[in-house]
């Protein structure tokens, strides 16, 4: 019997990460679910372990020693990670640069950039050792163009774009697939976090058009990981039909 592949997904407690965990489990990929909200990790584990083997890890991606210790503590049946989904991240605030908050800037750079690097640092040796593996970095259209007030969030996602390219180059001798999925607007808790719980502001982002749903992105991620091994989808941008760019959304 073929052994299931193992995927470690950061940010599995919500949105794109949670939807990815669900589609993976439906398709016989064992999952290591990562996040900070233990109640959600527990609930999702309970739901998915009907189909596949599930393990949870609770860490803040900003805490480098916790990231390394937690990933190093994976039980043997989960340690041999085949697929890494670098998804944990958020925007914090949407202000012009002259009004931005230092705390928000720290959060975005520490989580979206440095957190992604810490997790990758813990996982990559497992992949180089066996000369196989697949890393998917969740970037954004914000990593392809800068929009008004997006300044530091866009910078963090441009960094993900650069890291994705750098990883692909450096891991090329090790037969490791590296690619980015860059979504436009997806209706998740993203805007709730960006606007610090202001639901009126958050809901407005997705009104007047049909936004992407997290399941749309999860479906694409599943497609990416199920291509034959010689096929690496290196960089993929996906927007809702109503969205033409970061600032042009047809709300007619
Ligand atoms: P959600 O807010 O729904 O999910 C964010 C996830 O990241 C949660 O599971 C959260 O888990 C986790 N996370 C946040 N901060 C930390 C942290 N410090 N340590 C560990 N985990 C953390 O947003 P999305 O699903 O939309 O976002 C997922 C990714 O997709 C992000 O990288 C985002 O930038 C990107 N993206 C989103 C788009 C959108 O429009 N929604 C568009 C383009 C890209 P917990 O709080 O439990 O730790
Ligand atoms: C999230 C999409 O347009 O809010 O990366 O930056 S957007």
Instruction: Tell me: pLDDT of 91 over 80.
Output: yes
CA-proximal residue: ligand 1, atom 22 (nearest):
88
118 annotated active-site: no
115-165 per-position pLDDT tens digit: 999 999 999 999 999 999 999 999 999 999 999 999 999 999 999 999 999
CATH assignment, 5-238:
3.40.50.720
Report whether residue 140 contacts ligand 2, using a CB cutoff of 6 Å: yes
Q: At what angle do helices 116-130 and 64-72 cross, to 10 degrees?
A: 30
Confidence of residue 2 (pLDDT cuts 50, 70, 90): low
192-217 per-position pLDDT tens digit: 999 999 999 999 999 999 999 999 99
Q: How far is the CA of 36 from the centre of ligand 2 (A)?
A: 22
Give percent helix, percent strand, percent coil of the chain, each to the nearest 5.
Answer: 45, 15, 35
Q: How far is the CA of 4 from the centre of ligand 2 (A)?
A: 33
Report whether residue 185 contacts ligand 2, using a CB cutoff of 6 Å: yes
Q: What ligand is nearest to the CA atom of residue 189?
A: 1
Report whether residue 86 contacts ligand 2, using a CB cutoff of 6 Å: no
Domain ranges within the chain, ordered by starting residue: 5-238
Report whether residue 13 contacts ligand 1, using a CB cutoff of 6 Å: yes
Ligand 2 atom closest to the CA of 184, numbered from 1: 2
Instruction: Tell me: pLDDT of 55 over 90.
Output: yes
* Short-list 139, 132, 128, 41, CA closest to 86: 139
> What pLDDT is recorded for position 252?
77
What integer best gives the mean pLDDT of the chain?
A: 98
Report whether residue 150 contacts ligand 1, using a CB cutoff of 6 Å: no
Instruction: Tell me: pLDDT of 1 over 80.
Output: no
Backbone region of residue 180 per phi and psi (left: phi > 0; alpha: psi in -120 to 50; beta: other values)? beta
What pTM did the predictor assign?
Answer: 0.98
Q: Rounded mean pLDDT of 96-110?
A: 98
Look up residue 112 and give its DSSP letter.
I
Ligand 2 atom closest to the CA of 140, numbered from 1: 5
């Amino acid at each position: 019997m073929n052994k299931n592949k193992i995927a470690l997904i950061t940010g599995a407690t919500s949105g794109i990460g949670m939807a990815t965990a669900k589609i993976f489990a439906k398709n016989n990929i064992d999952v290591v679910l990562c996040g900070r909200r233990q109640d959600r990790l527990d609930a999702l584990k309970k739901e998915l372990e009907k189909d596949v083997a599930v393990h949870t890890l609770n860490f803040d991606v900003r805490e480098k020693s916790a990231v390394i210790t937690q990933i190093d503590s994976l039980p043997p049946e989960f340690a041999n990670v085949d697929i890494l989904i670098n998804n944990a991240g958020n925007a914090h605030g949407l202000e012009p640069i002259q009004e931005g908050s230092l705390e928000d800037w720290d959060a975005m750079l520490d989580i979206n950039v440095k957190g992604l690097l810490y997790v990758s640092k813990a996982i990559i040796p497992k992949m180089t050792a066996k000369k196989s593996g697949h890393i998917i970095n969740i970037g954004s259209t914000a990593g392809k163009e800068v929009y008004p007030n997006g300044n530091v969030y866009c910078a963090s996602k441009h960094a993900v774009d650069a890291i994705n390219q750098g990883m692909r180059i450096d891991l090329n001798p090790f037969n490791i697939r590296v690619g980015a999925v860059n979504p436009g607007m997806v209706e998740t808790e993203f805007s709730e976090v960006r606007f610090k719980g202001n639901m009126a502001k958050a809901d407005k982002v997705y009104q007047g058009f049909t936004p992407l749903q997290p399941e749309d992105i999860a479906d694409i991620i599943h497609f990416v990981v199920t291509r034959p091994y010689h096929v690496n989808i290196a960089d993929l941008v996906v927007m809702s039909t109503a969205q033409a760019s970061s600032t042009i959304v047809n709300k007619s």
